[in-house]
Structures are given as C-alpha cells and as structure tokens.
Structure 1
Amino acid sequence: MGHEKILVVDDEKEIRDLIEIYLKNEGFQIIKASNGREALEILEEEEVHLIILDIMMPEMDGIKACMKIREEKNMPIIMLSAKAEDMDKIFGLTTGADDYVTKPFNPLELIARVKSQIRRYTKLNNNAAAATGEEIEIDDLVINVSTHQVKINGEEIKLTPREFDILELLARNRGMVFSMERIYQKVWKEDFFDSPNTVMVHVRKIREKIEKDPRNPQYIKTVWGVGYKIEN
C-alpha cells in the first residue's frame, strides 16, 4: 500500500489541495477533478484505485457521478459532504459509495478511511483473481463453472442457465455493483429494453434457491438505486 492512484473530486480547490498534501505524504499518487463529469472523463483514461468524491458540485454532482461510476467500476468510493444528517449519509451509501466523511473533516481520519478501503479492495481483487479457475467458492457456496453445478453446504442446487449465468457474473466480480441493465446485457447478450422485472425475477429465484433467508440475503446484496453485487 502507498503507490495506489487516488482520484480526488471536489469543486473547492483548497479541499483538493489539502487532501493531496496529506495523501502524497503517505506515498499515494493523486489525480484531481473539479466535478463529476471531469472525473468520469479521467476514469476513461486512467486506472484509479480509490475515489474521494464530494457530493455538492456543479456540472455533475457526486451522487450522479457515483451511480455512473458504479455501472462499470468497483474501486472504493468515499463520499464527502457538508451535510451531517443521517438521511444524507444513508442516501450516499445506497448509491454505491463505500464510506462517508462529513466536512469539516480531520485529514488523519480521512487517510485512515482511505487505507482501510484500499486494504478491503485489494483483498476483494485477490479473491476474484482466485476465482478464475473451475470453481468459485464464497463461504458455503461453491460454483463449478465447467459443470454448471452449484452447491450450498455440499448440497447441489438446481439453477436454470440464465440463473447460473447471473450468479457466475456476480461471483466473478465480487464487490462490483451491476445495474439491471448491465446484467441483462451481459447475460442475455442483447439490448436492454427497459425491462427491469426480467432481471429482478431471476435474482429473486436465485435467492430463493441459495439463501437461507431470501429477504435478508447473505450472498446477492441489493444496492438500492444501483443494482446487485456479491460482496464476500
């Protein structure tokens, strides 16, 4: 840890520069953007390991930018906001953010949050890399990619081909949030025609088969307003 590239997105230059000073002292590489739209353009060109994203910005605010980023990428996102109300915090996290820091913030606390999220991200990526073989193991769930078999606690679970493909997609990309549109395009391999119920029904059926409590799922998590992910 220490050589990762961090994108700092805030419309206040003083905030961007302050964060840059502290993170550079820890050995991180810093890229800066002044709004969400500029951040998205940078992400098209640069590999970034973590994003610090302000909520209130011109052109494109942090909430919209976060949701857009989560359609494709799974690096950690720490939201910054001058609002301290609980509902603002909850809303920020449900749009796909991993953590939330309220302004004014202690730079040392922010650094600790950054390091914590990067450790988590590195662990998830290592798990995903290990899952490129024939079997993907997540707790008591075992997915055999070659035979299309799924087992929970050693007991085989029967999934349809579509259900298996959705489960495999999420399991291979642990920690990444997939929108219903993205899942449809990846699994059905055709354009998404505003039919979210198709994906929702398939996810519900998968949960009914693999989860002890489908209403409180252990494996396939809902990220409200964004999509689904497997986090373990």
Structure 2
Amino acid sequence: MMTWGQFGLQDGNSPIMEELIFLHDFINLVLMFIISFVGYMMISMMKNSFINKNLLEMQMVESIWTIIPAVILVQIALPSLLLLYMLDESIDSSLTLKAIGHQWYWSYEYSDFWFAEKNSFYEFDAYMIPSAELSPEMFRLLDTDNHTVLPFNTHVRVLISSADVLHAWTVPSLGVKADAVPGRINQVKFISQRPGIFYGQCSEICGANHSFMPIVLESISGEAFINWIANVE
C-alpha cells in the first residue's frame, strides 16, 4: 500500500500493474526531456538580443519540429495500445468472485464453491472497522471486518455490480478499477503474483459515507486458500 512520503504509484502485484508503472515512468522521462529542451530554448531566446530570421521562417525547421513530436507521440501510443489490448484480453479464469457495492459496504460471493449444508454459495459482507475498534496493526479507514481471500498465481475474474447507486471497485496494486453499476455486470481479471494484503477503496462518489467502504484483498497460496474455503463457517 501507499506509505507516507512515497512519491509514485504503489508497487505492482500483477503483470498489468507492472506494465502500467513502466509506461508511467517512460512517459515521465519523455516529458522531462521535452520540458527541459523547450525551457532551454525559451531562456536562450529571451537572453539573446539577436534574432535569426532563418530559424523563425524556414521550411526545413518547420518540418523538423512537426516530425519529431509526431514520432514521440507514436512511441507513446504503441505501448499504450498494447496495454489496452492486454487489459481486455479474454482468458479462461480459474476462479470467479462476485463483488456487489452497497451504501456503504461491499458484499462478496465465491460462485465456484457451493455449500450443500447451507444450500448456497459462500458469501459475506465486508464493513469498515470503526476507528474506536482498531488494533495497533490495523490501518484507519482501510481495514474491514472480513478480508476477501484469493490465491496468488491464479487467474481471477471479478464480476462487479451494485445494489443501489454507482460505486467503483478499485485495487491500485493489482491495476484493476471498474464501475459498479446497478443492473449491469462489469468484469475485471488479474493475477496476483505474490502473497500479502492489498488495500483499495470505492472510487466513485456514492453518498455521505463514500470514503468508508474500503476493499481488503488477502493473497495466499492455493493450498492455504483451499484449506480456508473448506473451513469457513
């Protein structure tokens, strides 16, 4: 998760997020070069009392400063398009999780696991833990009473919807963000690459308690996940 004084994005825990961070760094590098070059030219022209008319009105110069920006834009557009196709890539998922937004909490359902004794899928609600009930190792406004447990190195599909108003299911470390729209199901897919606890929040203004419906994903091994799902009450 983000820490105090951190400059930049959260550490990526999925291939998509890692590629997004690389693209972000590359674009920032290009921007730094452009800003430095343009700033140098502006300062040089302001300090210089002479004007070169061939530099201001010359076909070759105009062609150069048209072609170079076009090449730079192409260099930025190509990896951006590649990432867009990677985000929409359709792969058969090993596990499906349903996330439904409410005012103001999330409910989850593991639709791949049917409990015969309950005659239903495993489902639970995740409410934010109030500040007065936090223990020292918990994070204020980020921890929930129930964690969403998922196995790492597993292709997971999350089906997202809402029971009342617009919400948005967002986990920055995994590079996923999708609107929860009433009457509509959106889908995100990701692969968590390492174990840990990862935090997110609703990213769509949904009412008075919009900032009090966090998301907590706990990534564990496949064996531990099977043991956890087998022992849930």
- Superposition TM-score tier, normalisation by shorter sequence: under 0.3
Higher relative contact order (CA 8 A, sep 6+): 2
Q: Normalization by structure 2: what TM-score? A: 0.22
Point out the structure with the larger strand share. 2
Which structure is larger by alpha-carbon Rg, 1 or 2? 2
Higher helix share: 1
